[in-house]
Amino acid sequence: MKISGTFLDEISHDIPHQNWGEKEWDNDFAHMKAMGIDTVILIRAGYRDYLTYPSAYLIDQKGCFKPPKDLVQLFLDLSSKHGMRFYFGTYDSGVYWDTGDMQQEVDINLFLIEEAFGKYGQHPSFAGWYLSLELSRKTKGAIEAISGLGKHCKQISDGLPVLISPWIDGKKAVNSKTHLLEKMEAVSLQQHEQEWDEIFSGIRDHIDVVAFQDGQVEIGELEDYLTLNKALADKHGLKSWTNSESFDRDMPIKFLPIKFEKLLLKLEAAKRAGCEKAITFEFSHFMSPQSAYPQAGHLYNRYKEHFNTL
């Protein structure tokens, strides 16, 4: 089970920015390609006041900052150059996190999806949508939000695929900005099944792919969750990918590249569970030879050694 997709984390939320320019991004896409990556997924079009592209709507009407560089255009052009499929990630206004108001989050994104598709939808590498709302079982209003946004994405884009990447509410599902690594109350496999069966029922018509994050449960328990996720996805006619995180959730420094052995164990579990594709969060900080974290380059080498792609 090789990794063939990666998120592009260029609206820094909790991973410090690398301050790359065009040249570094071009090199990075080449490194990705050499490792077997064919799909890149923008983690989000913007986060609060910061944007990846100069959205007239968000700048003029919401007071966001005009970004110094149009990264969506850059990523689309590099996708064409390096033979990648690009998924556009929606905007995160922060309103839901601050107030619990999901409707406003949805309304903003319904508008943004149109603007973005108008601007970039005809680019030959524009291949799908990623709904950046990282829902879990307790996310109020998530079913309606995901359905509504997914439906809108598919309608205006003639059915381009829609991806979500939820988290399992396992014991490592803790806020990255606390010092904690684990919490006491984690979801059980049974609860997870019941809740996600319900969620999938509600969103199945407007979503194509579900790629659960694989880092919130212990590696020894992961295969059970992946197998269950695959069965649920099959039942509801969805594709099941794995989002195999390449950063380490077990260390005091939040976050540095994962130990190769852990990544390999997770990919092997995904293979046994029958996942259709593995993507990762994310290549450029945690697996790239030019990452600011040199452990990432060594991870890249170990990965390529293992899969004989050196």
Residues 50-79 that bind a copy of itself (CB under 8 A): 50, 63, 65, 67-68
Q: Which of 98, 179, 190, 308 binds a copy of itself (CB under 8 A)?
A: 179
Task: Name the one range near a copy of itself by CB under 8 A: 88-96, 103-111, 227-235, 299-307.
Answer: 299-307
Residue type, 118: G
Tell me if residue 139 falls in helix, strand or coil: coil
Query: From residue 237, how far is each of 130, 198, 281 by CA, in Å?
Result: 18, 14, 25
Q: What are phi and psi of 39, to 5 degrees?
A: -135, 130
Return the residue of 99, 155, 176, 188 that touches a copy of itself, per CB under 8 A.
176
At which residue do the structure tokens 């039942």 appear?
235
Q: Does 184 bind a copy of itself (CB under 8 A)?
A: no
| 131/278 with CB nearer a copy of itself | 278
Return the HEC string of 183-226.
Answer: CCCCCCHHHHHHHHHHHHHHHCCCCCEEEEECCCCCHHHHHHHH
Shortest CA distance to 3 belongs to which of 42, 31, 22, 45?
31
Q: Is 214 exposed, middle or buried (0-12, 13-18, 19+ CB in 10 A)?
A: buried
Q: Determine, following the binding rule CB under 8 A, whether residue 181 of this chain makes contact with a copy of itself.
A: yes
Residue closer to a copy of itself (CB basis): 56 or 251: 251
Told to check if 41 binds a copy of itself by CB under 8 A, we report: no
Binding segment for a copy of itself among 106-114, 163-171, 184-192, 286-294 (CB under 8 A)? 286-294
Chain position carrying tokens 């059980």? 188
CA angle 125, 166, 144 (to 5 degrees): 90
For the bound state, the minimum distance from the C-beta of residue 44 to a copy of itself, rounded and expressed in Å, comes to: 15
What DSSP element (H or E) covers 42?
strand 39-42
299 is a contact residue toward a copy of itself (CB under 8 A):
yes
We find the least distance from the C-beta atom of residue 63 to a copy of itself, in angstroms, to be 7
User: Least distance to a copy of itself from the beta carbon of 300, Å?
Assistant: 9
- Give the per-residue SS3 of 60-77: HHHCCCCCCCCHHHHHHH
Compute the distance between CA of residue 22 and CA of residue 33 in angstroms, rounded to an integer: 17
- Using rule CB under 8 A, residue 20 touches a copy of itself: yes
Which residue, 162 or 296, has its beta carbon nearer to a copy of itself?
296
Measured from the CB atom, is 65 or 205 closer to a copy of itself? Answer: 65
| Position among 53, 120, 241, 293 found at the interface with a copy of itself (CB under 8 A) | 293
219 binding a copy of itself? (CB under 8 A): yes
Return the number of other C-beta atoms located less than 10 Å from residue 187's C-beta. Answer: 22
Q: Rule CB under 8 A: which of 223-282 touch a copy of itself?
A: 248, 250-261, 264-265
* CA 8 vs CA 17, 65, 163, 261: distances in Å: 12, 20, 14, 23
Determine, following the binding rule CB under 8 A, whether residue 308 of this chain makes contact with a copy of itself. no
139 or 288, CB closer to a copy of itself? Answer: 288
Smallest distance, a copy of itself to C-beta of residue 255, A: 8
Between 134 and 197, whose beta carbon lies closer to a copy of itself? Answer: 134
Is the Cβ–Cβ distance between 90 and 131 less than 8 Å?
yes
User: Which residues are at the interface with a copy of itself (CB under 8 A)?
Assistant: 12, 14-21, 24, 49-50, 63, 65, 67-68, 176-179, 181, 219-220, 248, 250-261, 264-265, 292-295, 298-299, 301-302, 305-306
